[in-house]
Amino acid sequence: MANEKYNTGYHDDSFGYATLPSSMGGQEWSYGQKLADLSQSDKWKTNCIGGEVYPPIQGGLFKDPVEYPDWIEPEGRQDFAKCVETTHATWLMCDRIKIYQDEDRERAIEASDSLGYDFRVTTATFKENIGEEPFEVSVKIQNIGVAPFYYDNTKWPVLLGFKKGDDLVARYKTEWDLSSIPADASEIEFDHVIEKNKLGGGEYTLCMKVQNPLQGGALLYFANEGESDDGWLTLGSVSVDAPEKEMEVITEVLPIVYVEPEPVPDGIDGVYQAENGRIEGSALVDRDIPECSGGRKVGYIGAEGGSLYIENVEVPEDGTYEVEITYMTKEERYVKISVNYGEDVKVTFPPSGDDWLTLATLTVEFDLKKGPNTFYFHNETGWAPDIDCIKILQ
């Protein structure tokens, strides 16, 4: 099934054997052919593609010449480089790569290096002699790899730094977004202005680095000479004409702070968000769902004790009210709803679409009391639909 509406890529578990589409000599049932049939061949442009080298060929794929088991038919002997170029794979599992030695191992490493993104700084423009005025830096970067950099630049910031000798003495965070660089070797220019450089007089090395948000995580290296073991790429030398001062050496990692989006307040136009409610058991809040009114929803309500309480739902007086429930479900599901812990009402929800990211609404009448009310969603025998919000219509 195509996942064009989902923010996820694809996994080829027979890479190098059943990868290429039939138009490139592959099988009619191959990974590549299935993507073509589903019009999903360009999914790599927005989502990461991975997989596993087909286990029976792992032991001979990186030898020269390639060694295949005798039973592998010609259409299953697919060129690794062509498979990488076609799928734009970023990562692959290959357990038997550890058996390779000498030149075979070098070929395996080279094959691994051919995956994913590969950034190269082509030019860096800046004044080599400055005073205490704002300092402008312009850098052009190209991606000469086969896939984009898929990650959030707020978590993988590009830093500019100044070194005195081998010591980092100044560091500045940019807003540069590496995910905006297409995997087509085109140059993308980024600019940053350091308003107050705070540097003492002397000679410095201007450098840049992409910081991994994982403490102790692998460094991101550029395909340039001049990159040090600490991940800082040298851009050039800068002479500062200013009073000399002692610069403190920076040793700690720049802290990455993730700011949780502000929740949508309840009660506006009678709308109450599920994610603002109280959850129990298996129920959880799914974040980063742009289709939902507050960017979130509550899922896994039901079978494993998952429940949702939407509380403090205000109405002006006692009476029967129409309540619009916004939900997601790919299949027909039901949920039991009680108001103020009264009698359960079993509500059946038809499919909202052919996936789990299409919203629909269902209107149900409930007797509510003046002031705050509590809606309790549960299902002891099966899974309920995912809930976005409820709205009091009258």
Structural domain includes residue 330 = yes
- Tens-of-pLDDT digits for all 394 residues of the chain? 556 767 789 999 999 999 999 999 999 999 999 999 999 999 999 999 999 999 999 999 999 999 999 999 999 999 999 999 999 999 999 999 888 999 999 999 999 999 999 999 999 999 999 988 899 999 999 999 999 999 888 889 999 999 999 999 999 999 999 999 999 999 999 999 998 878 889 999 999 999 988 877 888 999 998 788 888 999 999 999 988 888 888 877 766 555 566 788 999 999 999 999 999 998 999 877 888 988 899 999 998 789 999 999 999 999 999 999 999 999 999 999 999 999 999 999 999 998 888 999 999 999 999 999 999 999 999 999 999 999 999 7
What's the number of domains the chain is made of? 3
Q: Any idea what DSSP says for residue 121?
A: E
Structural domain includes residue 262 = no
- CA–CA dist 34, 3 (Å, integer): 12
Task: Looking at the structure, tell me whether residues 272 and 373 fall in a common domain.
Answer: yes
Q: Looking at 61, 88, 113, which one is the last position of a domain? A: 113
Task: Looking at the structure, tell me whether residues 175 and 221 fall in a common domain.
Answer: yes
The pTM of the whole model exceeds 0.85: no
CATH of the domain at 219: 2.60.40.10
Residue 181's alpha-carbon distances to 65, 119, 145, 187, 296, in angstroms, are: 36, 9, 11, 8, 29
- CA–CA dist 270, 313 (Å, integer): 8
- CA–CA dist 33, 172 (Å, integer): 47
* Residue 31, φ and ψ in degrees, nearest 5: -55, -50
Task: Looking at the structure, tell me whether residues 106 and 123 fall in a common domain.
Answer: no
Range(s) of the domain holding residue 229: 119-240
